[in-house]
Structure 1
Amino acid sequence: MGTPIRTIVGIFIVLKFRLLSDRTVVNQVKENRYIQYFCNVSDEDLFTFMHHSNLSKLRKRFGIKGIEAIDAVIFNLLRITKVIDNDSMLIDSTVLLNNIVYPTDIGLIFKAFKKMEQVAKHYHIPFWWDDRELKQLWREYNLNRKKSEIIPLFFETLLIFSSGLRTFEKIVQTLEGSEKDKEKALQLLELLILFQRQNEQKLAGERHIPNRIVSFDEPDARPIKKGKKHPDCEFGSTLQLSFNRQGFMVTTENFIGKPNDKTLWPETARLFEQKMKGAPEYAIGDQGYRSRVNQKIPQGTPNIFLGKSSDVNEEEQGYCRKARSATEGFISVAKNLRGFGLSLYRGIDGDRIWSLLCQIAYNLKKFLQLYNDEKISEESLMKIGLLG
């Protein structure tokens, strides 16, 4: 018998709500009676409870559509019971960081050798480069951080990598084994070739290289600048969020790189209307979303505020400015307290699943805050079943 879906969803919520690892959350279920009650785990089931590795397998089994379905069930319950108001749409974007070290050109070359080394060991192939020489270069790189000493070291290491990559390309074409292993090797080869081309572009003097590789473990991560003083550049994916005025998170969208905010506004507004089943009275964003087209989206919304007080009537300006300030607060809470600060799943699909799980935990936490502050109407509580 598999673990009931009711228990699995409860474990995922606790995991995100308390920012725990897979191993820790399973141990917490075994030890904490409150979590056992929340996840509907009986005493008999504790003796044969799941292994923490099952959670990773279940995420892959659910996929993005499965997690979206779970989020939709929870959100629709809050919407139908009128816990969530459809008064305002607050939109802003931020960076969802990936779990990678700060990338440097020469550091990525050494990382590329590590990736080729893993393939060589898996297929029991002797190294086709001088490993002692490479280790000596790595030692010099870590001891000498001056720019004048790094540049010649970079050229020397790049020369060895170029020769090693040509040999690796020939090796990959003759590999034997499972289709899955060969596919991984081919994907690594494509990534290394792209990385080599980008190095050549940089040596040619190009400063802005599109889709620049910053990690071999996170190939979808990109360098993103959001106009902040520190850090001036972050590495991950773009995260587009929308809230209502209460602070409930309505939509999350993940993008590779940094798309233009002006192009994101219409689709986010459409998703907001679709999820809330209607157009809001206020649509609020910063000047990054400002355009003539966006000032008319969503249709049927009388007050659209995109960073300038002149966008709305004088009596509505105070509300819009406060709502715009509140958006920054909602995002700050999401990033610092609700897990949106760093994605621990790999790839853009992993970032999407991570965002959805964090969104579920965020909205449940917001519901608990309103419930504890007695800001939810008795009618809504009766519909949910929390009031007799």
Structure 2
Amino acid sequence: MGASGAKGLHMIRETSDRQLQLKDFIHPFGCDLNSENRWVKLAEVVPWDDLAVAYNSVMSATQGRPAKPARLVIGALIIKHKLNLSDEETVLQIQENPYLQFFCGLGAYVDAPPFVPSLFVEIRKRMGAEVFDAFEQAIVDRAVHIQKKRKPTRVSTSGGDGSPPSSCGDGSDQDRPAPVDAVDAQAEDVTHHGKLLMDATVADQMIRFPTDLGLLNEAREISESLIDELHKQTGGKKPRTYRQQARKVFLSISKRKKPGGKLIRKGIRQQLQYVRRNLGHIERMLDELMAEAGMPFPLGHKLQRQYWIIQHVYAQQKRMYETKSRRCDDRIVSISQPHVRPIVRGKAGRPVEFGAKVSVSMIGKLAFVDHLDWDAFNESQDLIAQVERYKARFGFYPEVVLADGIYGTRANRRWLKEHGIRFGGRPLGRPRKVTSENMDEIKQLKRQRREDERSRIPVEGKFGQGKNGYRLNQIRARLASTSEAWVRSIFLVMNLIALLRFLLPFLRPSAIMDACTTWLRGMLRLDDGVGDRLTGMHPRFADASTGW
């Protein structure tokens, strides 16, 4: 190959990956942690002491073994839902990351897990609605205290007079909305202030999509396992369950792409017969063990619970089959999670959702769970209670309540009118006739309604943030109490993030410098001579003569 052909070639220097040893790896742990790290900033926002008091309120001071520190537990819970991690992965991330250990309150880096992942289950069982209500109040108190005592940094450019930006303001900066609508601490006679947004959604549970045929097949399989367990204790000849035949019948229908209604009904009838036969065998075997042999109830807690659930599933499915109905009261849609109920919402593409229904009120940038129930309920019945909770949090009623039309019942409108609160919705009855005298008034009311509809968008966005960013629509806890704690933890994290975004300019030492930079850039656009004179004053303006 000639010299011309070798111009595009490069020398290869091969190194072996085996040469690098762990002791030779350069790590930054000998240096100071970065004060601008997101977890360091978030740690400055969280009211740890108030949260610790609320968490420790459910603990015993005299009984039981010593508990983990409250900051460690609460910090781990925030990390889990902020990063959408599993319990095991959360513990590993805290073990490997010094910033997360600092966030959880550890004094030094420790290469050991802070606790076993199963502790998360006990934490969720322990943290009920009262604890999370105290958490919410602590966040509200911190937000209101900051708005009253500290003045936000203004980063807006100057006006037409060319005056430099002020390093402090009165909190009315539109570029940085406040987390809550607070009032002046001196205004003790204020009775109405702020806006209250409210709406309801469903926190979908991670369960298999329920079908009547699939539930009966699962109940049949559980009944067969119960028969196997009881047969070990009774001995003798095992009752016939026809499990292979029943499985074959179920698969012949479930594997069809579009089975017809008659075929599905036939499969349900067959599975009901198999389950009925198996339940009869279980009853006889229990009578033999308990009545004749004098033994206590032979099934453990888990198997006894499954036995109770499949009996209810069989009774519900038999009733619906006989009456040719598609609904029943307290319908079980998951044997592993019998507390989950189908909730008809009528949403596009998802008419029925499976999970807990959550009624939420939103004040400023903070959202609070006011009502959580596994049964479907009419959210309009929560309006009065939510308004009263608003007054309990801030000491005054809201000026306006913004909600869906379902909240605008006559009783709710009457109550709001009696308390001097405006309802931001369409009035009841026929539209008013437009005349020359009331034309301007009607136009003003229409503009007000459009503004109210736009102002209600943030609560819908908060639901989208929770479901898309924090998996509010994929609740993975299995118990009712732990699932409720999971939902409330997501709203806790979203409120802390909203508080962090409001406080971020206070936590950055360069906030005032950034504001001055914005003002100077505006000045340099107006006067090139100023740009020439300021070039070289500061590295920020090194390219002022060329860029402006």
TM-score, normalised with respect to structure 2: 0.61
Q: Does 1:151 align with 2:265?
A: yes
In 2: Cα distance, 1:128 partner to 1:57 partner: 41
User: Does the 8 Å CA contact 1:224/1:236 hold for their aligned counterparts?
Assistant: yes
Q: Which residue of 2 aligns with 1:220?
A: 339
**Contact 2:219–2:310, Cα closer than 8 Å, also in 1:** yes
Match of 1:106 among 182, 188, 213: 213
- Displacement of 1:358: 0.9
In the TM superposition, what whole-angstrom CA distance separates every residue of 1:357-382 from its partner, at most 9, and x where no partner exists?
Answer: 1111010111122234779xxxxxxx
Q: Is the 8 A contact 2:401 2:424 kept in 1?
A: yes
Equivalent position to 1:140, from 238, 246, 252: 252
- Length, aligned pairs only: 374
Match of 1:95 in 2: 202
Higher mean C-alpha deviation, range 157-166 or range 262-271: 262-271
Q: Which has the higher helix share?
A: 1
- Larger deviation, residues 218-227 vs 366-375: 366-375
Separation (CA, whole Å) in 2 of partners of 1:14 and 1:48: 14
1:258 is the counterpart of 2:376: yes
Q: Structure 1: which 5+ residue stretches go unaligned?
A: 376-388
Cα distance in 2 between the residues matched to 1:223 and 1:5: 36
Deviation at 1:108, TM superposition (A): 0.2
Percent identity over the alignment is 20
The structure with the largest alpha-carbon Rg is 2
Shift of residue 271, structure 1, vs aligned partner: 2.8
Rounded to whole Å, the distance in 2 between the matches of 1:42 and 1:117 is: 54
Query: For residues 257 and 185 of structure 1, what CA distance do their matches in structure 2 show?
Result: 26
Aligned to 2:77: 12
Distance 2:460 2:137 in 1: 25
1:368 partner amino acid: L
Letter in 2 for 1:25: T
Question: Residue in 2 aligned with 1:26?
Answer: 91
The amino acid of 2:272's aligned partner reads L
SS at match of 2:210: coil
Counterpart-to-counterpart distance in 2, 1:80 and 1:127: 70
Q: Distance in 2 between matches of 1:275 and 1:127?
A: 63
Question: Which SS does the other structure have where 2:410 is aligned?
Answer: coil
Conserved 8 A contact 2:227-2:282: no
Alignment-derived partner of residue 101 in structure 2: 36
Q: Against the structure 1 CA distance between its residues 318 and 206, is the aligned structure 2 distance closer, same or farther, given a 3 Å change threshold?
A: closer
How far apart, CA to CA, are the structure 2 residues paired with 1:137 and 1:39?
54
SS at match of 2:204: strand
How far residue 131 of structure 1 moved from its aligned partner, in angstroms, is: 2.6
Letter of the 1:207 partner, please give it. Answer: R
* Post-superposition offset of 1:34: 1.4
Distance 2:120 2:476 in 1: 14
Q: Aligned equivalents of 1:307 and 1:349: distance in 2?
A: 38
Of 155-164 and 304-313, more deviation after overlay is shown by: 304-313
Cα distance, 1:355 vs structure 2: 1.8
- Look up the equivalent residue of 1:242 and give its one-letter code: S
1:272 equivalent in alignment to 2:379: no
Equivalent-residue separation in structure 2 for 1:65 and 1:201 (angstroms) = 39
2:490 counterpart (353, 358, 361): 358
**Counterpart in the other structure of 1:348:** 480
Which amino acid in the other structure matches residue 471 of structure 2? G
Corresponding position of 1:168: 282
| Distance in 2 of aligned mates of 1:6 and 1:113 | 46
Displacement of 1:26 after TM fit?
0.7
2:519 maps to none
Counterpart position of 2:399: 281
Partner of 1:371: 503
Q: Which amino acid aligns with 1:140?
A: S
CA change 1:150–1:50 in 2 (3 A) is same
Distance in 2, Cα, partners of 1:54 & 1:214: 28
CA gap 1:72/1:128 in 2 versus in 1, 3 angstroms: farther
SS at match of 2:356: strand
TM-score with structure 1 setting the length: 0.84
TM superposition shift of 1:283: 0.8
- Name the SS for the 1:306 alignment partner: coil
1:199 aligns to 2:317 (yes or no): yes
User: Residues of 1 paired with 2:244 and 2:410: CA distance?
Assistant: 61
Q: Per-residue deviation at 1:208?
A: 3.2
Distance 1:202 1:303, change over 3 A: same
Give the deviation of 1:238 after TM superposition: 1.1
- When residues 274 and 342 of structure 1 are mapped into structure 2, their CA distance, relative to the original with a 3 A threshold, is farther
Matched AA of 2:280: R
User: Structure 2 vs 1, CA of residues 169 and 263 (structure 1 numbering), >3 Å: closer, same or farther?
Assistant: farther
- The residue that corresponds to 2:16 in the other structure is none
The aligned amino acid for 1:222 is: R
Aligned partners of 2:132 and 2:488 also within 8 Å: yes
